[in-house]
Amino acid sequence: MKINFTNKSPKKGAVCVAIFDDNKFSDAANALDSDSGGSIRKALETSRFSGKAGQVIQILAPMGVDADRIIVAGVGKQDNDMALAWESYGAAVIKELLTSGLETITFSVGDLEGIYSARIAFGALLAAYRFDNHRTKLSADKKPSVDFVCIDGSQKKTGEVEFSSLNELAEGVYLARDLVSEPGNIINPESFAKCIQGLSDTGLEIEVLDEKDMRKLGMDSLLSVGAGSNYGSKLAIMKWMGGKAGDAPVVLVGKGVTFDSGGISLKPGNGMWDMKGDMGGAAAVTGAMRAIAGRKAKANVIGIVGLVENMPDAAATRPGDIIKSADGQTIEVQNTDAEGRLVLVDAIWYGITSFKPCRIIDLATLTGAILVALGQENAGLFSNDDRLASDLTVAGKISGEEVWRLPLGSGYDKLIDTPNADMKNIGGPFAGSITAAQFLKRFVGDVPWAHIDIAGTAWKDKRADPRESVWATGFGVRLLDRFIAESHES
């Protein structure tokens, strides 16, 4: 879908105008209403449209209007910061019309500020995402028709400038959604690493460690997870040093289990297919690094993803096995399905020892328990640093990818003690997301650290928001990009 900022409205397709809550007309809506002989007000008289966010109605354009259709869409309440409202507005319109047969949609925005018209375009892009890669029999009427979106307004220049960064962000979100959506026979540790290598075009410096490299470094915790797989485990490192030379970087770590069968502690068959998305943390980190490099962020950021496949096999790790992590601590693997933490701790160790970060943040589809606690609305946030937790919470609110902090504490920490080793990889029946976070905490020392459990937000069976797609959401890309922009760029 091509996006174009213009101040000369094209004469075909649909023209879309915004109305706020309680049918408060935007200037563009007023202008189009009078150009069309009052057709918008007339149409509203016989409809339940009230300007609420998400409402969209279509009117056949009367003679004299330079378009085939008029679209009227709600923005909701007028507030101080309207960025997310305009984003949702753009998304709702595209969601409604993507496969309608219309090819061109022009958002008529009048004098709307450039930051907001760019948001409309960004929302439109987010809503236009589809995962049709493997559908060979999709009929013509089910395919997207909209291929051209114009933003028509006086602030064309600032709109274009603002959109250039958001366009990079949308690329990052698309990349993360593609990676999460692709099944385990297509995205495996080796192909994921290759895909990351392809990102060097964006200016990212890429390094990939293979099993031999990791064995030398003693990363047996990560390696134990991939022991039953036919694919070689990888650790991929993406470097973006756009900030001041010598400033300690932020390290982002992602869980990249390209398929989680549970290993010898095999998962039940029903729903196991969803575990192709168990690399959602790695996808978010990769997408965020893509966006950060694409918009040439003035910050030092390093993305590290641990890429493994968790399979049962004669060579697979057994329940009861004791392994040693790269930092020397020993782990009794009581359940091979609690594998994400085993991958993360070695990747975190690598991040801390190699890059001496000012802050380290990991993202992972780590526990089913986070769905019980927070559902699919908020990701779970755990941190040893109040300032970092607050920065991430703020970035969540601004980006629309929200996080909710849960506690850590020594009482929870005791639940992962075992007489057989320094710790075990499962807690017990209670507080499963917290005991998983306590496990990670044992590996971060005094580095300010946050863990974001995205098991509830990385994918959704139903499309809950017009900016999201049907399954993979790309959760974390917008959050991380905003966090870097707000807290680590001057």
Q: Provide the binding-site residues for ligand BES, judged by CB under 6 A.
A: 260, 278, 335, 337-340, 365-369, 426, 432, 455
- The answer to whether residues 473 and 177 touch, using CB atoms and an 8 Å cutoff, is yes
Ranges within 257-276 binding Zn ion (CB under 5 A): 257, 260
For residue 411, the partner it binds in Zn ion, ligand BES, none, with Cβ less than 5 to 8 A by kind, is none
For residue 369, the partner it binds in Zn ion, ligand BES, none, with Cβ less than 5 to 8 A by kind, is ligand BES
**Cβ contacts of residue 144 below 8 Å, gap of 6+?**
1, 98, 99, 128, 130
Which residue in the set 13, 228, 340, 351 belongs to the binding site for Zn ion (CB under 5 A)? Answer: 340
| Residue 96 sits in the site that holds Zn ion (CB under 5 A) | no
Based on CB atoms, which residue is closest to ligand BES, 188 or 365?
Answer: 365
Q: CA dihedral defined by 87, 459, 291, 205, rounded to 10 degrees?
A: 180
Which of these segments, 1-9, 207-215, 335-343, 384-392, binds Zn ion (CB under 5 A)? 335-343
Based on CB atoms, which residue is closest to ligand BES, 13 or 432?
Answer: 432
Amino acid at 19: I
Which residue in the set 278, 346, 391, 481 belongs to the binding site for Zn ion (CB under 5 A)? Answer: 278
Q: Residue 106 and residue 151: Cα distance in Å, rounded?
A: 6
Determine the distance from the C-alpha atom of residue 476 to the mean position of all C-alpha atoms in its chain, rounded to a whole number: 4
How many Cα atoms occupy the beta-carbon half-sphere of 63 within 13 Å? 0
Q: Is the dihedral of CA 261, 264, 265, 269 positive or negative?
A: positive
| Residue 453 sits in the site that holds Zn ion (CB under 5 A) | no
* Shortest reach from residue 372's CB to ligand BES, in Å: 9
Q: Identify the residue whose tokens are 């915790």.
A: 221
Tokens at 282, concatenated = 């790695």
* Shortest reach from residue 256's CB to Zn ion, in Å: 10
H helices present in 302-417, as ranges: 340-355, 369-374, 386-399, 410-414
Active-site position among 234, 341, 424, 478: 341
For residue 285, the partner it binds in ligand BES, Zn ion, none, with Cβ less than 5 to 8 A by kind, is none
To the query of whether residue 24 is one of the catalytic residues in this protein, the response is: no
Q: Residue 458 and residue 179: Cα distance in Å, rounded?
A: 11
* Shortest reach from residue 344's CB to Zn ion, in Å: 10
Integer CA distances (angstroms), 88 to 2, 84, 131, 178, 417, in order: 19, 6, 20, 21, 47
For residue 162, the partner it binds in Zn ion, ligand BES, none, with Cβ less than 5 to 8 A by kind, is none
DSSP 3-state helix, strand, coil percentages of the chain (rounded to 5)?
40, 20, 40
Determine the distance from the C-alpha atom of residue 57 to the mean position of all C-alpha atoms in its chain, rounded to a whole number: 30
Based on CB atoms, which residue is closest to ligand BES, 257 or 388?
Answer: 257
Based on CB atoms, which residue is closest to Zn ion, 179 or 447?
Answer: 179
Of 345, 304, 279, the C-alpha closest to 209 is 304
Of 456, 273, 267, the C-alpha closest to 368 is 456
* Shortest reach from residue 365's CB to ligand BES, in Å: 4
For residue 432, the partner it binds in ligand BES, Zn ion, none, with Cβ less than 5 to 8 A by kind, is ligand BES
To the query of whether residue 341 is one of the catalytic residues in this protein, the response is: yes
Active-site position among 267, 397, 405, 463: 267
Based on CB atoms, which residue is closest to ligand BES, 32 or 366?
Answer: 366
Ranges within 46-65 binding Zn ion (CB under 5 A): none
Based on CB atoms, which residue is closest to ligand BES, 256 or 432?
Answer: 432
Based on CB atoms, which residue is closest to Zn ion, 269 or 328?
Answer: 269
Catalytically annotated residues? 267, 341
Residues within the interface to Zn ion (CB under 5 A):
257, 260, 278, 337, 339-340
